[in-house]
Amino acid sequence: MKISFYAFVLLFFISCKDQDQKSSEKAPENRNIAPVLSVPENIEEAHNKVAFMEQEAIAFDIDLSFNGNSRLNATISMLANSSRIKLEKKDGTVLIFDGEKVFQQSGDLIDTGARFDIFTWPYFFALPFKLTDPGTMWEEKPDRDMEGQNYHTARLTFQSQIGDSPDDWYLIYQDPETLRLKAAAYIVTFNRAAEEAEKSPHIIVYENYKMIKQVPFPQKWHFHNWSAENGLGEKLGEATISNVHFFMPEKDFFSVSQDAKEVAR
């Protein structure tokens, strides 16, 4: 009986050791589990960034107004990576970003808002596809309420020397159901100090998404005052986005004419 008892104890410890070995062999499998996507990565995936970037260029019409007054009525064309932009206003003014400089191709006087227009509105349009661009920095933030709906949020800032306004920041709102971009609170530091811009943050709200070649684009933008304490404030303006389409630009589509005037910073 003693032999049987000792044999049983030995088998018990061998069994435990075998189980421990199997457990230790299985544990590393967890390291291969894909990490949870961040807010910007989720938004880019929900907007099908891969399909967007497979296209050469995109164009859209924008009818923008603030406080009931027309601010911009134009057609904007851009390469998918935003390295070339053409803005054609209905009044005949044509602005071009050639990848390095901004030019105005018509009119005797330089449009004082040229640089702001050619970078700001295309950026708002392409924002869902630019969230992980080089130079972007992210900080996860608590969920926020907007008009009775809870949204995931994250703060976007930029490394120095990124664009005309590296001191800008955005607080991105993500729809928890569709995972798409819902809104972006922001400050505008173009031609003014960051301290001054911090006094009047705004927010752009994206509405009425429409699918274009499996990529969702909002057809309506709404602009409001915004504060960290109260969130959405008074409505300031809106934009209608229409005629969104991908296209293959001609070789000289973004070329600058010889009589074009450079728009300095």
C-alpha to C-alpha distances, 240 to 65, 72, 124, 198, nearest whole angstrom = 9, 11, 13, 27
Q: At residue 63, what is the residue type?
A: D
| Domain CATH for 105 | 2.50.20
**Cβ atoms of 242 and 61 closer than 8 Å:** yes
Percent of the chain with pLDDT over 70: 82
Tell me whether residue 96 is in a domain.
yes
**Cβ atoms of 156 and 40 closer than 8 Å:** yes
Structure-block tokens of residue 38:
């961040």
Tell me whether residue 78 is in a domain.
yes
- Mean pLDDT score across all residues of the chain: 86
Give Dmax (Cα) for the chain: 110
- Among 203, 188, 192, smallest CA distance to 147 is for 203
Cα–Cα distance for residue pair 247/80, rounded to 1 Å: 10
Q: Identify the residue with better confidence: 23 or 199.
A: 199
Tokens 């206003």, residue? 89
Confidence of residue 4 (pLDDT cuts 50, 70, 90): very low
Q: What pLDDT is recorded for position 165?
A: 55
Q: What pLDDT is recorded for position 35?
A: 42
Tell me whether residue 196 is in a domain.
yes
Tell me whether residue 212 is in a domain.
yes
Other Cβ atoms closer than 10 A to 181: 27
Indicate whether 205 pLDDT > 70. yes
Confidence of residue 108 (pLDDT cuts 50, 70, 90): low
Tell me whether residue 4 is in a domain.
no
Tell me whether residue 264 is in a domain.
no
Weakest mean pLDDT among 18-27, 29-38, 128-137, 196-205: 18-27
Confidence of residue 255 (pLDDT cuts 50, 70, 90): very high
Tell me whether residue 226 is in a domain.
yes
HSE toward the beta carbon, residue 259, CA cutoff 13 A: 6
DSSP E strands in 98-190: the ranges are: 102-104, 136-146, 149-158, 170-174, 181-186
Confidence of residue 188 (pLDDT cuts 50, 70, 90): confident
Q: The dihedral of CA 223, 133, 135, 61: what is its sign?
A: negative
Instruction: Quote the domain boundaries for residue 81.
Output: 39-259
Tell me what the mean pLDDT of segment 171-183 comes to: 97
Indicate whether 16 pLDDT > 80. no
Based on the structure, what is the number of domains in the chain? 1
Q: Identify the residue with better confidence: 200 or 126.
A: 126
Q: What pLDDT is recorded for position 164?
A: 54
H or E stretch at 93 = none
Buried b (16+ CB within 10 A) or exposed e, 14-26: eeeeeeeeeeeee
Q: Identify the residue with better confidence: 152 or 3.
A: 152
DSSP for residue 15: H
Tell me whether residue 1 is in a domain.
no
